[in-house]
A and B are shown apart, each in its own frame.
Chain A
Amino acid sequence: MTSFHPDKVTAERLTGNKASTGPQGPPRDDGTLLEDPSVRSPLVLNNRSLHDVTEIVCGYAENPPGKWWLPLFMFTATVAGIGTLMILYLLITGVGVWGLNNQVGWAWDITNFVFWIGIGHAGTLISAILCLFKQKWRTAVNRSAEAMTIFAVICAGIFPGIHVGRVWFIWYVFPIPNSNAIWPNFRSPLLWDVFAVSTYATVSLLFWFMGMIPDFATLRDRADKRLRAGSGLSKLSVQCPITGIKFFSLPFSADGVRALVYGFLALGWRGSSRHWHRYEAAYLILAGVATPLVLSVHSIVSFDFATSVIPGWHTTIFPPYFVAGAIFGGFAMVLFLLIPAREIFPNFKDILTLRHLENMAKIILVTGMMVGFAYAMEFFIAWYGGNKFEVEVFINRATGPYWWAYWTMIFCNVVTPQVFWKRSMRTSPLAIWTVALFVTVGMWFERFVIIVSSLHRAFLPGEWHMFFPTAVDILTFVGSCGIFLTLFLLFLRFLPIFPLAEIKAVMPQGDPHGHSDDHDQSDKNNAEGGH
């Protein structure tokens, strides 16, 4: 343990101000995965001081991100643009450009909607439930997971909006007085969806933005300080990432823009005790408000199906099954995005440690088995319930024309997470990333299987139709991935991607009891990251 907190640096570190220049003390197994059960792994590695953390996190937003960023951004933005053009084409031409038919009236559109709305749930779980349960490791992932939630909800919101065909009538979903004397049907789960998703989007946005206010203030003050020191007066210039040729430069400095924009977003935050007191209270309230949303939003999304009388949809297991699946898919997306970021950004691994990845791998394993259980229960109840249409739907699901979708789902969602029983897999970023990719694919297929395989055969054989996606179907979905990744890249580039204050609070320096003269006690407390 003493190797984590060698005495020679403890004094400096405990002041909380002295910057360390780099890793201090030998790294041991990434330092996070201790064999000694009496000691908790540290949440920030390499004996970083508080100032180090500020420098690292603000550095991501202040410094050019490296040559990879702009080409990647241009690529994802192009994909997003293609998706937008596809939506425009749909609006101009009509929903006939999709592969829908009389029997399969919902297909990729609603699959994509449920897929994206599910992705967001990891962010809400991390920010709300793990906050209330005081899971300190959440601090390293909550900001990016919340950002992901917002972006996923944006992507999700597109699909129900455009699948109605005549998008200019979408205001019918809101209870607005109108000259038709008709009102939304409050008995329809599709309307509950409107309220569930819009509440979810609002609360998630508030949570995300409020958490960033102190960090915006930090970025503002750093820019302001550089401006006053006269070191921030370089002109803002844009240059080609490959050749280095300068395209143009603007007549104001980057720090001037930062001070203005971050200053505006910081809403006058000065970091006074009164500010912090209210901030903490508001954070707790929002966590309390958001906690039921983790369970309610996807439950209501599942009602879209469960309250209908279509065999394969009409099951009571849907709400818990959907919620588990949403958290499962959401964590997979968090890992899918953060593991590459962890490799690319300097010092990212000090804050997002292997222990964090291992924790999330465990959640993937647990929720993966929950959805596996739900898949099995659907078949069991179909048989046990004795409804032969229900039995037929499920046999058709596994052996009918969409068998490949069903077994892709089973393989990705149930089989691949099982590798996490082995610790070496849970601590290998490459293995985790691969499983996360499989799970993301599998969760998309889960929604496709539920929707299309239940719809494509109705009670009368005359109503049997296959669904085949058109190029517009495919490109719209790919485009939504482009929108999601574009927004995430902008987030990585310009916003504080870790919550500074929260991370500092889980560092040894943030522990008010960790400064005793008793070295053994002090070491232990420091290593636990406080109480």
Chain B
Amino acid sequence: MSLMFPKWMNALPTLGAVASMGGVLTVIAGFWYWATPSFFEVGYEPIQPGSGFSHKVHAGKLGIDCRYCHSNVEKSPEANIPAVDTCYACHGQGRVSPARSTASDEKVQFIRDAYESDESIEWRRVHKLPDYVRNFPHHVHVKAGVSCFSCHGQIMSMPVVRQEQSLSMSWCLDCHRHPEAAMVPQDKVTDLIWVQGELQARGDGHGTVNTSDLRDRLWAAPPVACGACHQ
């Protein structure tokens, strides 16, 4: 036979094998990085209606407790968005003096308009769970000593709320499998700065809370079966 193919083509099977292995690994790595919630969910920060709502001012500077507005979080599966009344209680005509507040009349006008016309303010939801997560009870988590901070991050330093955690299924399961890493005493659940410090210290190995005792007292075993969330 003649030499039909140049000699370098002897390397083709090896190159092909290496390239296909590399291709498969690249695709997996690409999906791993770009196609998971930790890439395309974290950092979601929608523009809110009106002049927005600064958690940094209300929860941080003014020190209003989370439960003042999200009033049902200990009783209901939904952590409710407050009604316009709640905003209006402070920001109604002449209630909070503009002199003592940075919230000028123009800035809060959209609240007064909504109150006058008896309409809701259409706040945009930041943390969304998929439809097939049929059961995510906020009150159970709060009662079990999971701080707001664990899922929502340092809200009181955010002028506009952004999504801090991926909310992926593995992220849920990590905590359900090792809940003591996130649990805090119930009276500290909304004390985000304390929780941040505590969890940091716990990570470094010198937390102040006896977590196994806490776990026994609050919630012995969070469910990890499919039906717990996907009912």
Residue interface mask B102-124, A partner, CB < 8 A = 1: 00000000000000000000000
Does A267 sit at the interface, judged by CB under 8 A?
yes
Residues of B148-194 whose CB lies within 8 A of A: 166, 168-171, 173-174
Does A242 sit at the interface, judged by CB under 8 A?
no
A260 touches B169 (CB 8 A): no
A224 touches B169 (CB 8 A): no
Interface size class, chain A = 10 to 19
A220 touches B1 (CB 8 A): yes
User: When chains A and B are docked, how far (Å) is the Cα of A178 from the Cα of B171?
Assistant: 11
Q: Which of A20-28, A179-187, A334-342, A464-472 contacts its partner? A: A179-187
Which of chain B's residues has its CB closest to A180's CB?
B169
Residue interface mask A32-72, B partner, CB < 8 A = 1: 00000000000000000000000000000000000000000
Does A92 sit at the interface, judged by CB under 8 A?
no
Does A241 sit at the interface, judged by CB under 8 A?
no
Contact of A224 among B1, B10, B37 (CB under 8 A): B1
User: When chains A and B are docked, how far (Å) is the Cα of A260 from the Cα of B6?
Assistant: 12
Residue interface mask A236-279, B partner, CB < 8 A = 1: 00000000000000000000000110011001101000000000
Which of chain B's residues has its CB closest to A171's CB?
B31
B4 touches A260 (CB 8 A): yes
Nearest chain B CB to A205 CB, angstrom units: 15
A179 touches B173 (CB 8 A): no
Nearest chain A CB to B18 CB, angstrom units: 17
Give the residues in chain A near B168, CB-CB below 8 Å.
Answer: 179-180
Chain B CB within 10 Å — which of A177, A181, A220, A268 has the most? A181
Given contacts A267-B13, A268-B10, contact A178 B170 (CB under 8 A): yes
Give the residues in chain A near B4, CB-CB below 8 Å.
Answer: 220, 224, 259-260, 263
Give the residues in chain A near B36, CB-CB below 8 Å.
Answer: 178-179
A180 touches B13 (CB 8 A): no
Given contacts A267-B13, A268-B10, contact A179 B2 (CB under 8 A): no
Does B8 sit at the interface, judged by CB under 8 A?
no
Contact of A179 among B5, B10, B13, B166 (CB under 8 A): B166
A182-B173, A228-B2, A270-B1 given. 17 additional CB < 8 A pairs? A176-B28, A177-B32, A179-B37, A179-B166, A180-B173, A181-B170, A181-B174, A182-B169, A220-B1, A220-B4, A260-B4, A263-B4, A263-B5, A264-B5, A267-B13, A268-B5, A268-B10
| 6 closest A-B pairs by CB | A181-B170, A180-B169, A179-B168, A179-B36, A181-B173, A263-B4
